[in-house]
Chains A and B, each alone.
Chain A
Amino acid sequence: MAVHPLRGAAAIVGLGITPQGKVYGSSPLGFAVDAVRLALADAGLRREDLDGLLVNPGLAWSDQTMASFAVQQAMGLRDLRLSAAMNLGGATAGAMVMHAVQAIAAGLCTTVACVFSDAPLKPPEPGGARSSSGAAYAFARGFDATQGFFGVNAMYALIARRHMHRYGTTGEQLGAIAVAQRRWANLNPLAQMRNTPLTLREYLDSRWVVEPFHVLDCCLVSNGGLAVIVTSADRARGSRRPPVYVLGIGQGHPGGDPIDTLSSGAALAGRTAFAMAGIDLRDLDVLELYDCYTFTVLVTLEDYGFCRKGEGGPFAAEHHTGPGGRLALNTGGGQLSSFYMWGMTPLSEAVIQLRGDGGARQVARHDVALVSGNGGVLSTHATLVLSRHPA
């Protein structure tokens, strides 16, 4: 079979992660500029080397239109040949890398920064009022508001409850995912929860947010920015840090209502990406799966085919996905326990692992990584297959 022309055509050569979490004093635009600046420094590149810019604006960007132009102007970038603001929710990071790879392979540009940033958390108010507010994430309008039905948490929880009903998925199985990821986070100096251990008992005793979700089933909320630099495989060879080659890319957006299928877009996106990369699941050393909720991880494992539909609960619980387990899954702690930069969180951890920069949490075999992004309540999906080896 002929090798796909995009397989290994481009590589990630720069990674920029700003301070994450309760970090104040910067606008989302400022975090985006910081992240791109850090990624350029990491790559050993200058601003002048960039000729492409893709921006995923988070929720606090709502007053900004043309976000990529705003970033260009804010950091004085000249003569870009690719520019776009993109939003597929958590699938955007993978989709940005996909567009960057395509544009580079087509000769339309050479070096593209892909960046996400957000600042939904507000600084503590005088008088000790609660410092953080996830209010930006509680979408309530019209009919739903009259029913006290608020937020993305509740929408995912409805689907999770149905999964539990149909397949017997349990809270302990969701908890196994939360605990395994926390153990990874405890080894990650960048993680917001690095100093907070977690047992299954503590998970089960933690407060409910929207039953069947405990607070520890839900991702963190973070201020910050995160960027990667994508360039051609040819240019990547001389780069400062070990290149991370993009072997496979794919998107999958099933449409319809996921509560009927209890599935994400991972099956569709994965087929495209795995075929391009010429790999199957056994070739993957590191899995960085989008984890807005523990439940999202469980469904994504099913949809990629690690187990059959409905068996994600027992599979996750029995595979010991924490450090030293059988499956290296969300090795930085994920969005549940490290930081919430939408699809950039799993992407950044894959780059760290493939480079061998994981420190105490470094996975021994780290040749090929799977990265997933998911958005719109199991409705948008992007898959990346990355490797430290060129095609």
Chain B
Amino acid sequence: MSDTSTAAPPKPSPVVTPDMAPFWAAARRHELVVQRCTACGSLRFPARELCRQCLGREAVWQPVSGRGKVFSFVVMHRANHPAFAAEVPYTVALVELEEGVRLAAQLTDIPPQKVTIGMPVEVWWDPVAAEVVVPRFRPRQP
């Protein structure tokens, strides 16, 4: 049996839809960006066609701090994708960024049983494949 058949399959690369392409391009530069409605200024993630506040269509991608707090979290004990099988159990946190936007992302560098709601976290960048970099979060000193 060859190595390639026993190695864990690659992690899912993002399906780069046109609306999310600027996010993934920024990720390659290690820059976390979210959409800002040009009409009313409200922030949103992931990309949406319309602003929920004012129904405006125009938006720009704006860098954010990458710092936030755990708003809630779960511990995934079953790998619904084979690429994550070796990592279970792992933590996915709903992170509320300082700018107020929330995103669900893997929280690393801490055992699941030590994670608490409200703990400060910061983004780091995980190169999962050539030309593919995804954000993760880890604990941060307050």
B12 touches A211 (CB 8 A): no
Main secondary structure on chain B at its contact with chain A?
Answer: mixed
Most-contacted residue by chain B among A142, A146, A149, A159 (CB, 10 A): A146
A142, A161, A210: the one contacting B76 at CB < 8 Å is A210
- Given A140-B12, A142-B17, A162-B117, A147 and B92 contact (CB-CB distance below 8 Å): yes
Kindly state whether residue B98 has any CB partner on chain A within 8 Å.
no
A147, A150, A165: the one contacting B72 at CB < 8 Å is A165
Kindly state whether residue A365 has any CB partner on chain B within 8 Å.
no
- B contacts with A, residue count (CB < 8 A): 35
A150 to B104, CA, bound (A): 11
Chain B residues near A162 (CB-CB < 8 A): 71-72, 117
Kindly state whether residue A154 has any CB partner on chain B within 8 Å.
yes
Kindly state whether residue A138 has any CB partner on chain B within 8 Å.
yes
Kindly state whether residue A151 has any CB partner on chain B within 8 Å.
yes
A211 touches B20 (CB 8 A): no
What's the least CB distance linking B15 to chain A, in Å?
A: 5
From B1-9, B35-43, B58-66, B78-86, give the one contacting chain A: B78-86
Kindly state whether residue B140 has any CB partner on chain A within 8 Å.
no
A148 touches B87 (CB 8 A): yes
Kindly state whether residue B46 has any CB partner on chain A within 8 Å.
yes
Chain B residues near A159 (CB-CB < 8 A): 72
- Nearest residue in A to B116 (C-beta to C-beta)? A165
Most-contacted residue by chain A among B15, B79, B136 (CB, 10 A): B15
Chain B residues near A145 (CB-CB < 8 A): 12, 14-15, 81
Most-contacted residue by chain B among A135, A140, A208, A212 (CB, 10 A): A208
- What 4 A-B pairs come out closest when comparing CB atoms? A211-B75, A150-B80, A208-B77, A162-B72
List 26 contacting pairs A-B, 8 Å CB cutoff, sorted by A. Answer: A135-B80, A140-B81, A142-B17, A143-B14, A143-B23, A143-B103, A145-B12, A145-B14, A146-B14, A146-B128, A146-B134, A147-B106, A147-B136, A148-B79, A148-B84, A148-B92, A149-B76, A157-B74, A161-B117, A165-B72, A207-B77, A209-B77, A210-B77, A211-B75, A212-B74, A259-B71
